[in-house]
Amino acid sequence: MKVAFVQFGDSSVSKGGGYVAGSIINAGHQLDFLDTYLIKPDAIAEKVIKGDYGVLMLSAMTMDMPATIDLISKVKAKKDIPVLLGGIHPTIVGAKLLDEYPQIDYLCIGEGESMVAEFLRDFGKPEFFNIQNLAFRRDGKAMENPIRPPEALENLPPFPWHLYSRGRIVNGDGFLSVAATRGCPYRCTYCCNKIYLDLYGKNYLRKRPLDQAVSEMIFLKKRYRPRFFLLSDEMMLWEEDYAKDLFKAIKEQVGIPYGFMARVEHINEEVVKLAKETGCQYVGMGIECGDEKFRKEHLKRYMSNEQIVKAFRLLRAAGIFTTSYNMIGFPFDNDEELTKATIELNRQAQPDYVQATIFYPFPGTQLYDLCVEKNLIDPAKCISDYHSDTVLRGSSMAHRTTEIAEMFNSTWNWKNKWHNVDFWVYIFEYKVWSIWRELRPDERQS
Ligand code: B12
Ligand code: SF4
C-alpha cells in the first residue's frame, strides 16, 4: 500500500515518527515522507488529495494537534482516505481522541513499529481489528485493543535518516541528536513518561545494543559531519554502567564531543571525571522549581536543593557546559514565590545557561488532572509551544521567561557565539572559555 506519512515539527529529527517510517519501508511499502520542515501543511494536504495514497499517517505531539486536525480536515473534505494517527498525543489520550475528532479513523496507542507493519498487512481483512495498539470505531463507539510488549530495540530496522533534510539532522549549532535508550524510571507529575510506564511497566526502559548505537554515530559522523552529538535520551544515566560504556565508546570509536540530559542524583565525581575524559561538553539537568518542599510534594522530584547545587558545581568545575531546565506558571496560588525560589536556586547552582519554560498541563499527567479538577485550563488559549504563554486562565507568563533569560543568559549568549562557526572555531572558543572561566571572579550571578 502507498503511504503518505506526515511529520510535524521544525526542530531536530523526530525519533518516533522516523522509526515508524523505517518500519513501513522495511515491510516493503511505498512511502512518501512529508515533513512540515520542508513543505507547508497546506501543500502537504494538496499533495495527499491529488496523490494515489491508500492511507494517510501522521505523528503528533499534543501541541501539534491543532495543525494536525487542520491538515486532516482539509484532506478529508476532498478525499475519502483512511487516517491513522500515532505519537505521544494519541498515546496519552487513548481511544477517546476518536470521539473528539471524527476526522481520525484509527489511532496507534503506544509504540508503532510493529503495529504499523501489521496495520498495512491486515488492512481490509477481518483480523485487522485484532491488531494490538490499535484504536478504532465499531458501531460508532471508540474501542482500544490491548498494548503489545515494548519493541525489542535491537531488532528495529535502521533509522531512516535519509528521509530527513540535512538542516533537520544537524542544527545551526552543529548539534546532531541521537538516542541510545528509551524511557526514564521516574514519574514526575508534569511529564508524559509516567503514562508510558503505566502502559508498559518497567519493561519500557530499554537500551539499544551498544555497538548498534555507536555504529550509527560513526555513520552519522561520516555522512553529516556534525560538530557535536546530543544524546537526546530522556535519562542517560538511568543505567550507569551502560552510560559509562557508551561514553568510552564515543571517545574511542566516534571521536566527537557529546552532551546528554541527566538527573542531578546521578551526577557524582566519578561520572563527571569519566564524562570529561571522554569528550562530554554539555549536560542539561532539570531544576524545574527551586522550592524543595513543593518539588517533592507536587512534582514528585525527590532531590534536595543541596544535591542540585552540588551536581551543577561538579560539572562546572570540570569545565562542562551546563543548562538548567526550569518551569514557571504552576497552577498554585504561590506561583510567584515558587519562581523566586527557582531564580535563587539557579543563582546558587550557577548553570551556564538557564532555560525557563511555562508549565503546560499534558493530558494523562497528575498536574493535568489537578488543572481539570480546578477548572484552570482556558479553552480559548491555543498554545503551540511552552515558551510563548500559559494555557491556564489568567495573565500571560511570557514576560517572566524573558526576564529570567535576561537575568541569567544575556551576557552569556553562547548560542549566538556557536551559531555559524565551524567546528574548530567552536573548539577554540571552548578552550578559551574554559581557561577564562577558571580565571574570572564569581560575580556572574549578581
Ligand atoms: C528527545 C525529545 C525531544 C528532542 C527531540 C524531539 C523530537 N522531535 O523527537 C527535543 C529536545 C528537540 C524536544 C523538543 C520538544 N519536546 Co520533547 N521530548 C523528547 C523525549 C525525551 C524523547 C522523544 C523520543 O524520541 N521518544 C522515543 C520515541 C521512539 O517514542 P515516540 O516519540 O513516542 O514514538 C513512538 C510512538 O509514539 C509511535 N508513533 C509516533 N509517531 C507515530 C506515527 C504513526 C503513524 C504511528 C502508527 C505510530 C507513531 O511509535 C513511535 C515508535 O515506537 C520525549 C519524552 C518521551 N517519553 O517521549 C519528550 C517529549 C516528547 N517532548 C515534549 C515536548 C513538549 C517538546 C517540545 C514541544 C518542547 C518545547 N520546546 O516547547 C519540543 C517540540 C519539538 C518538536 N516539535 O519536535 C513532550 C511532549 C508532550 C506532549 N504531550 O506532546 C515530551 C513527551 C516530554 C514531556 N514533557 O512529557 N524533545
Ligand atoms: S526525570 Fe525527566 S523524563 Fe523522567 S519523568 Fe521526570 S521529567 Fe520525565
Q: What is the pLDDT, as a whole number, of residue 425?
A: 55
Instruction: Tell me the ligand closest to 192's alpha carbon.
Output: 1
Instruction: Tell me the ligand closest to 265's alpha carbon.
Output: 2
* Gap from CA of 104 to ligand 2 centroid (Å): 30
All three cell numbers of 268, joined, read 557524582
Closest alpha carbon to 73 in 95, 109, 41: 41
* Gap from CA of 13 to ligand 1 centroid (Å): 10
Q: Is the dihedral of CA 276, 282, 288, 291 positive or negative?
A: positive
Instruction: Tell me the ligand closest to 92's alpha carbon.
Output: 1
Q: What is the pLDDT, as a whole number, of residue 442?
A: 41
In order along its 446 residues, the chain shows pLDDT tens digits of: 999 999 998 788 989 999 999 999 999 999 999 999 999 999 999 999 999 999 999 999 999 999 999 999 999 999 999 999 999 999 999 999 999 999 999 999 999 999 999 999 999 999 999 999 999 999 999 999 999 999 999 999 999 999 999 888 998 778 899 999 999 999 999 999 999 999 999 899 999 999 999 999 999 999 998 989 999 999 999 999 999 999 999 999 999 999 999 999 999 999 999 999 999 999 999 999 999 999 999 999 999 999 999 999 999 999 899 999 999 999 999 999 999 999 999 999 999 899 999 999 999 999 999 999 999 999 888 777 777 789 998 877 888 888 898 888 875 555 443 433 343 455 565 456 545 545 554 433 32
* Gap from CA of 108 to ligand 1 centroid (Å): 15
What's at 4, amino acid-wise?
Answer: A
Contact 263 CB / ligand 2 (< 6 Å)? yes
Rounded CA gap, 23 and 41, in Å? 24
Closest alpha carbon to 365 in 302, 303, 294, 298: 298
Rounded CA gap, 347 and 333, in Å? 24
Instruction: Tell me the ligand closest to 159's alpha carbon.
Output: 1
Ligand 2 atom nearest to CA at 187: 5
Contact 59 CB / ligand 1 (< 6 Å)? yes
All three cell numbers of 292, joined, read 524543595
Closest alpha carbon to 272 in 320, 236, 228, 323: 320
Hey, whose CA ends up nearest to atom 2 of ligand 2?
Answer: 234
Contact 365 CB / ligand 2 (< 6 Å)? no
* Gap from CA of 325 to ligand 1 centroid (Å): 17
* Gap from CA of 88 to ligand 1 centroid (Å): 6
Ligand 1 atom nearest to CA at 184: 57
Rounded CA gap, 396 and 168, in Å? 31
Instruction: Tell me the ligand closest to 233's alpha carbon.
Output: 1
Instruction: Tell me the ligand closest to 23's alpha carbon.
Output: 1
* Gap from CA of 187 to ligand 2 centroid (Å): 6
* Gap from CA of 14 to ligand 1 centroid (Å): 7
Any idea of the CA torsion for 404, 405, 410, 412, to the nearest 10 degrees? 110
Residue with C-alpha cell 551526577? 267
Pocket test for ligand 2, best of 92, 182, 188, 295 (most atoms within 8 A of CB): 188
Residue 198: helix, strand or coil by DSSP? helix
Number of Cβ within a 10 Å radius of residue 67: 17
What's at 163, amino acid-wise?
Answer: L
> Could you write out the DSSP letters of every residue in 10-67?
SSSPPHHHHHHHHHHHHTT-EEEEEETTTS-HHHHHHHHHHS--SEEEEE--GGGHHH
Instruction: Tell me the ligand closest to 105's alpha carbon.
Output: 1
Helix, strand, coil abundance in the chain, percent, nearest 5: 50, 15, 35
Contact 235 CB / ligand 2 (< 6 Å)? yes
Segment holding 241, helix H or strand E: helix 240-249
Contact 112 CB / ligand 1 (< 6 Å)? yes
Helices and strands (H and E) in the chain: how many: 18, 15
When computed from its CA atoms, the radius of gyration of the chain, rounded to whole angstroms, is: 22
Contact 114 CB / ligand 1 (< 6 Å)? no
All three cell numbers of 52, joined, read 494515489
* Gap from CA of 349 to ligand 2 centroid (Å): 20
Number of Cβ within a 10 Å radius of residue 6: 29
Q: What is the pLDDT, as a whole number, of residue 405?
A: 87
Rounded CA gap, 112 and 14, in Å? 14
Residue 446: helix, strand or coil by DSSP? coil
Rounded CA gap, 41 and 323, in Å? 33
Ligand 1 atom nearest to CA at 230: 11
Pocket test for ligand 2, best of 198, 235, 261 (most atoms within 8 A of CB): 235
Hey, whose CA ends up nearest to atom 51 of ligand 1?
Answer: 16
Please name the residues in contact with 353: beta carbons below 8 A apart, sequence gap of 6 or more.
Answer: 321, 322, 323, 324, 408, 409, 412, 414, 415
Q: What is the pLDDT, as a whole number, of residue 406?
A: 86
Pocket test for ligand 1, best of 55, 85, 88, 91 (most atoms within 8 A of CB): 88
Closest alpha carbon to 285 in 304, 264, 301, 267: 264
pTM, two decimal places: 0.92
Rounded CA gap, 422 and 227, in Å? 8
Rounded CA gap, 19 and 408, in Å? 37
All three cell numbers of 106, joined, read 484509527
Instruction: State phi, psi for 281 to the nearest 5 degrees.
Output: -120, 0
Instruction: State phi, psi for 228 to the nearest 5 degrees.
Output: -160, 135
Residue 278: helix, strand or coil by DSSP? coil
* Gap from CA of 17 to ligand 1 centroid (Å): 9
Q: Give the pairing type, strands 106-108 and 134-138.
A: antiparallel
Ligand 1 atom nearest to CA at 58: 45
